[in-house]
Structure 1
């Protein structure tokens, strides 16, 4: 499918792996210039660049730029640099985030909550604040934020993460109402238990705790912690990326202020 966005420029935060990297591959195959960003412009980001470049078509460029989303000045500098070097970002897929503090609610401290909010919720706020003015100059913009099944079906040991993801959906809806007349669209994607470095780390921790293999930990987790995943497996990053790429396209020009669950049936409610 021709997504009709050839020649546009996309920023992907958290672009060194997982959903970010796979989305980058989809976009460069459509001739979109992609900037992969992470906290540090290190080895993992350079490796991601090599992988994405192999998929590039129609002259699509792949660049890497570092930015710390917990620092607004950093994010603003990133936006300004992209404008200077590439004419601005038409598309922002904000994939960077963290699970943050987890555990018994009564044992979580103010600092635990603040640290999770700074990355997951305020990171989204900072990215939006930095890039909306650039969308306005271009009179065209797509911003996709990552929420989660946790926003609808919260898990008791992840209360800070749950609250942040619900907040991201609300933020995206608010922005969609404020800027849609300027041809700027905001949407969310809510994955569930995807093969990413974050869930890999969770499974390695679980495997060590239970003295089992990582594969056995995945099976145990699906059966005991995510019983509503009808497909009974972890999702693949490319299964999320294909939906994100569509939301970036001209074909999605009437999709605004919504949240799309790509969760294998994980959320039990029909209307969540």
Structure 2
């Protein structure tokens, strides 16, 4: 199926691994030009080197998305190398402060919200003019199952991702008639470095292997994840690519769950 992505120019944040990297790979396969960004220059360059990109269709720029000036520099670099961005896929994020509510102070909340909620606000604001001007712009924010099914040991992350859903819905109403479509994708328990780290911590606490920690986590913490496995970044990237495409021309303000059934309600 031709998704109608060829010729697009996409910025993918959080692109050095996981969902971001797989999304960049999928968009490149579909004919887009990709600007890849993440915080660590060395990891970003290594990730970019592993992508199968035709000459001139992949550009990589490191940026700290908590720093407005760094985002402005990312904007300048992207424009100079790739031209105007008409597609934004914001994957950058962290697990953030964890623990019960009474165990997390202001610093934990602020640092988590700064990256998981304010960073997508900053990036969308920086690139909004060209996304609007394209007449066929796309924004896809990565949210989470946690946005609608919060867990009591990671409430800052849950609150941030709920905010991302509200942000996307609001933007979709503001700019749809200009051709800018805004949606979210909400994964659950995907095989990424972030969940690897979570499972390694769990394995250490339990005195088990990572695979044993994954099985016990599914049984005890994610009982409604009916497929009983971690999803793959490629499975999420496929949905993101659809939302970036001409095939999704009547989709805006929507949240697509890629969660193996993990969210227990409608």
TM-score class, shorter-chain normalisation, is over 0.9
1:138 aligns with 2:138: no
The TM-score with structure 2 as length reference comes to 0.97
Partner of 2:153: helix, strand, or coil? helix
Name the counterpart of 2:196: 200
Question: Match for residue 34 of structure 1?
Answer: 34
| CA contact 1:28–1:60 (8 Å) conserved in 2 | no
Instruction: Show structure 2 runs of 5+ residues with no match.
Output: none
1:152 offset after TM fit, Å?
1.0
The CA deviation string for residues 71-105 of structure 1, in whole angstroms up to 9 with x for no partner, is 12211221232122221111111000001001010
Aligned residues: 266
1:15 alignment counterpart: 15
Map 1:120-269 onto structure 2 (within 5 A). 120-269=116-265
CA contact (8 A) 1:32 1:60 kept: no
Q: Distance in 2 between matches of 1:136 and 1:263?
A: 31
Contact 2:143 2:187 in 1 (8 A): yes
8 Å contact kept, 2:33–2:57: yes
Alignment partners' CA distance in 2, 1:39 and 1:49: 13
Structure 1 residue ranges, 4+ long, deviating more than 2 angstroms after superposition: 136-140
The offset of 1:37, in angstroms, is 0.4
Secondary structure in 2 aligned to 1:153? coil
Which residue pairs with 1:47 in the alignment? 46
74, 77, 91: which one aligns with 1:78: 74
Asked if 1 retains the 8 angstrom alpha-carbon contact of 2:202 and 2:213, the reply is yes
**Contact 2:61–2:77, Cα closer than 8 Å, also in 1:** no
Native 8 Å contact 2:15 2:36 kept in 1: yes
| Residue pair 1:147, 1:190 contacting (<8 A) in 2 also | yes
Larger mean CA deviation between 138-147 and 244-253 belongs to: 138-147
- For residue 222 of structure 2, give the secondary structure of its aligned residue in structure 1: coil
Which whole-Å CA distance do the structure 2 matches of 1:98 and 1:124 have between them?
Answer: 12
Identify the range of structure 1 (134-143 vs 176-185) with the bigger mean alpha-carbon deviation.
134-143
Partner of 1:87: 83
Alpha-carbon offset, residue 60 of structure 1: 6.2
TM-score normalised to the size of structure 1? 0.95
The residue aligned with 2:114 is 118
How far apart, CA to CA, are the structure 2 residues paired with 1:36 and 1:77? 14
Alpha-carbon distance, 1:45 to partner:
1.4
- 1:24 equivalent in alignment to 2:24: yes
SS in 2 for 1:157: coil
Per-residue deviation at 1:134? 1.6
DSSP 3-state at the match of 1:49: helix
Q: Deviations over 1:155-177 (max 9, x none)?
A: 11011001000000000000011
